[in-house]
Structure 1
Amino acid sequence: MATSSRNRAEYQKRVNRVLDYIQDHRAEELSLETLAAVAAFSPFHFHRVFKSMAGENLREFIQRTRLETAASHLVLRPHVDVLEIALENGFSSASAFARAFKERFGMSASAWRSGGAAQASKARQAESKPGEVVRKPGKAAGCAPEQDGSSSGADARSDEEEIMNVTVKTLPNYHVAYVRSVGPYGPGGNVREVWERLVRWASARDLWTADRICLNIAHDNPNVTEPAKCRLDAAIVIPDGFAVDGDVNVTDVPGGKYAASVFVGDPSTIGAAWDQLFGRWLPESGYQPDHRACFELYQGEFHDPKTNTFRCELCLPVRPL
């Protein structure tokens, strides 16, 4: 077996171990820390690793499998109280289960038990196409799921070849001044505002030079953390001992081994590039994420205002698998 295949198999094994653990302990509280420990991955990046291998985020998988198991039990165990089934599948109350069940299946648990399940089954059979193969949920797929908007064939191969251009290298510690944004990373957030504040501050102190080094540091995963609580730091490297004021904060970004992938393009596509780095390159690389923040590294003039093109390196902290 080729090295990349062995590495992906190791990722699959670890994620499948988590899927099995969730199924066996669905009545219990399933914390991120517990599940990351089952997989032997850093909790800091486990959500992205899980989604890249399982095709859905951790919270969605837990909720879906709990509801689907409960739906099966409602039919197979017709004399068992609905609340008992709800508690067995990790729901804390009848009202919480009722809301989640109706949102998922479009009817109450009682209606499902009294004939709704059979109607839903007939509807699914009618919608199925002859010869269609449906992958059974519950195990990680052999390949990472395609991202929204991705194409197949030659285009898909080109995307994969591009993201495979990754260099694992040792980066130094960066002593930085930063302005923090708290809120959505995309539309509705204030990321542009904090970068403008940083540029004004740095320019006034002759730090916004042609050879400057800037970091865009994301502390949270927007697929997990509530958008209003996502933290992002717009940072610039400053000399040791440089005197700062209350307009900025100062911190040290730890160095070490990072997987670095060059990104050139419209900023709206950078999220997809991160997804490919986690979902395509990482599982076959022989590395796993380390417990340090990801960041984008910008050097010199990184923005072409005529084309709105940005150039940076996506820096993912890693350690051996």
Structure 2
Amino acid sequence: MANYEDRFISVISYIEANLDSQLDIDKLCSKAHLSKFHFHRQCSIFFGMSVMSLVKLLRLKRAAHQLAYRDNDKIINIALDNGYESHEAFSRVFKKYFAKSPSDFKQSPDWSTWHKQYEPIRKLRTKIMNTKDKFQTQVVEFPETLIAAMEHRGSPNLLGKTIQAFISWRKENKLPPSKCKTFNLVYDDPSVTAAEKYRFDVCCSVDSAIGANRYGVVNKTIPAGKCAVVRHIGSDDAIGSVVAYLYSQWLTDSAFELRDFPIFFERVSFYPEVAEHEMITDVYLPIQ
């Protein structure tokens, strides 16, 4: 990778690690080794947007996750934590990007409008991830694991509603992430699957089978067997690059074949409980 690209990767890494701070343009310029005369223009070319638009989108995403998944957080506190001076200022900007007020979004998260606004950051993170030649991959024996699963069927943009419902079910059944591992079964590639046919399970490990429930959570099992695993640190925006690497380059170079079970994720640490760039997800590809 050219040193020139490293400069801008350093800038976005610094921004992600300091979203809680008042970001100083002089500091960002020093990270990029560029003067103010060139910094904004060059960042806009590399990022696909202005540097302040990048900061705004990252903070809005964090605010939306806090609204959706933190029941006890007050909207005014979320607004202040993300750099807004008032509830009104936050609501005005949030509604522009999500087509819902913060309070309406908190009650019924809908990410469909947001995804169009956020696409430049997803592309940017994928671009950065694809600069890696390969990912550290291990072959492990995964143990048979009983899981409780909520099946999401439909647009990936509506996955947040399924996650929110599953969190409620876990809370009712006292199965927190600290006690039970969190998994996702990933059946389809969202880039090539029609939205209405997309399948994705939100799951957690359980000690025994669960009974019928109003949430529609069902019993499933992750079978024992060999898996290739890559630890992905960072946003889900770029996790597709890890999946593509395992299916293509790693599998082609290995002596293994695929088992009859979908690729799956173990969520080791969560956003927004940790900063987005600190998320840890283990990506498992079942092989034989």
Q: TM-score, normalised by structure 1?
A: 0.46
Residues 1:311 and 2:280 are matched in the alignment: yes
Map 1:106-121; keep pairs closer than 5 Å. none
Q: Distance in 2 between matches of 1:275 and 1:209?
A: 27
1:125-170 per-position Cα deviation (integer Å, ceiling 9, x unaligned) = xxxxxxxxxxxxxxxxxxxxxx97369xxx84xx124x1x111111
Question: 1:246: how far off?
Answer: 3.1
Aligned to 1:278: 247
Q: Distance in 2 between matches of 1:160 and 1:197?
A: 38
Aligned to 2:180: 212
Q: Percent identity?
A: 19
The DSSP-based 3-state class of the residue aligned with 1:167 is strand
Question: 1:256: how far off?
Answer: 0.9
Question: 1:209: how far off?
Answer: 4.2
Residues 1:245 and 2:213 are matched in the alignment: yes
Aligned to 2:270: 302
Which of the residues 150, 166, 190 maps onto 1:222? 190
Question: 1:302: how far off?
Answer: 3.1
Question: 1:242: how far off?
Answer: 4.0
Given the superposition, is the C-alpha separation of residues 243 and 263 from structure 1 closer, same or farther in structure 2, using an over 3 Å criterion? same
Question: 1:286: how far off?
Answer: 1.6
Q: Distance in 1 between matches of 2:230 and 2:126?
A: 21
Q: Distance in 2 between matches of 1:278 and 1:288?
A: 10
Indicate conservation of the 8 Å contact 2:147/2:206, yes or no: yes
The structure whose Rg is larger is 1
Question: 1:305: how far off?
Answer: 4.4
Q: Distance in 1 between matches of 2:171 and 2:243?
A: 30
Aligned to 2:234: 265
1:256-282 per-position Cα deviation (integer Å, ceiling 9, x unaligned) = 111011011111111122112222222
1:79-138 per-position Cα deviation (integer Å, ceiling 9, x unaligned) = xxxxxxxxxxxxxxxxxxxxxxxxxxxxxxxxxxxxxxxxxxxxxxxxxxxxxxxxxxxx
- AA partner of residue 169 (structure 1): V
Q: Distance in 2 between matches of 1:148 and 1:236?
A: 28
Q: TM-score, normalised by structure 2?
A: 0.51
Given the superposition, is the C-alpha separation of residues 237 and 225 from structure 1 closer, same or farther in structure 2, using an over 3 Å criterion? same
Indicate conservation of the 8 Å contact 2:148/2:210, yes or no: no
- AA partner of residue 213 (structure 1): K
Aligned to 2:133: 160
- AA partner of residue 193 (structure 2): T
- AA partner of residue 220 (structure 2): T
Q: Distance in 2 between matches of 1:255 and 1:244?
A: 25
Given the superposition, is the C-alpha separation of residues 289 and 243 from structure 1 closer, same or farther in structure 2, using an over 3 Å criterion? same
For structure 2, the 5+ residue unaligned runs are 1-124
Given the superposition, is the C-alpha separation of residues 298 and 150 from structure 1 closer, same or farther in structure 2, using an over 3 Å criterion? closer
Residues 1:149 and 2:117 are matched in the alignment: no
Aligned CA RMSD, in angstroms, stands at 2.4
- AA partner of residue 229 (structure 1): K
Q: Distance in 2 between matches of 1:283 and 1:229?
A: 28
Residues 1:200 and 2:168 are matched in the alignment: yes
Q: Distance in 1 between matches of 2:167 and 2:146?
A: 17
Question: 1:221: how far off?
Answer: 3.0
- AA partner of residue 260 (structure 1): V
Number of residue equivalences = 162
Given the superposition, is the C-alpha separation of residues 149 and 173 from structure 1 closer, same or farther in structure 2, using an over 3 Å criterion? same
Q: Per chain length, whose mean CA-contact separation is higher, i.e. which structure has more relative contact order (CA < 8 Å, sep 6+)?
A: 1
Given the superposition, is the C-alpha separation of residues 303 and 149 from structure 1 closer, same or farther in structure 2, using an over 3 Å criterion? closer
The DSSP-based 3-state class of the residue aligned with 2:265 is strand
The DSSP-based 3-state class of the residue aligned with 1:315 is strand
Q: Distance in 1 between matches of 2:240 and 2:210?
A: 33
Indicate conservation of the 8 Å contact 2:126/2:238, yes or no: no
Map 1:39-78; keep pairs closer than 5 Å. none
